[in-house]
Amino acid sequence: MPSLLFEIPNLKKETQVLLDLLPDRIGHGTFLNSSEGGSLDLVDFVRKHQIPLELCLTSNIKSRTVPSYDQHHFGFWHSIAHPSVICTDDKGVFATHLSQEYQLAAENFNLTPSQVWDLSYESIDYIFASDSTRSELKRKWNHLKPTVLHF
């Protein structure tokens, strides 16, 4: 079960109730962090349960839940090596595409091509699909890696 959560600050009690349902993923997660109207308890809960976050940089900028790309909460979650998935939210509405979102993350958080690749590869673990589909996607990613990263 995915949950679109934490797009409104200072709703700690409501957020915890939703987290207690142990969602498979968290959409946005903008206001989980204590510096953004969440709390350390919420962050600790998400970390303890390794609940991946779907992070939509452009969507959060255009909806004004984040002031700038370089202040996006992706930086926080990435810095603590928490499972994160870069997403578009809605490419038609927000006039973006997934490659652009990865580029924005790379530029604003100084990610190397290998780190961008790893984000993409690791996101396969969090898709809503069968184990066989995930395995097949990982096989395809591994096959492409030498040509994409020029190893």
Residues 103 and 116 in one domain: no
Map tokens 């202040």 to a residue: 71
7 as an active site residue: the answer is yes
Residues 13 and 53 in one domain: yes
Residues 124 and 86 in one domain: no
Instruction: With residue 143 as reference, give the H or E element that holds it.
Output: helix 131-149
Dihedral of CA 129/133/135/136: which sign? negative
Is the pLDDT score of 103 beyond 90? yes
Give the mean model confidence (pLDDT) for residues 122-150.
95
Give dist(CA 143, CA 59) in Å, integer: 31
Residues 41 and 94 in one domain: yes
Query: What's the confidence (pLDDT) of residue 49?
Result: 98
Query: What's the confidence (pLDDT) of residue 6?
Result: 54
Domain count, the chain: 2
Give the mean model confidence (pLDDT) for residues 140-151.
87
Catalytic residue among 7, 101, 122, 136: 7
Question: pLDDT digits over 3-53, tens only?
Answer: 555 566 667 888 889 899 999 999 988 888 866 667 889 999 999 999 999
Residues 106 and 121 in one domain: no
Residues 98 and 141 in one domain: no
Average pLDDT of the residues of the chain = 89
Is the pLDDT score of 90 beyond 90? no
pTM: 0.88
Q: Which domain holds residue 142?
A: 112-151
Amino acid at 60: N
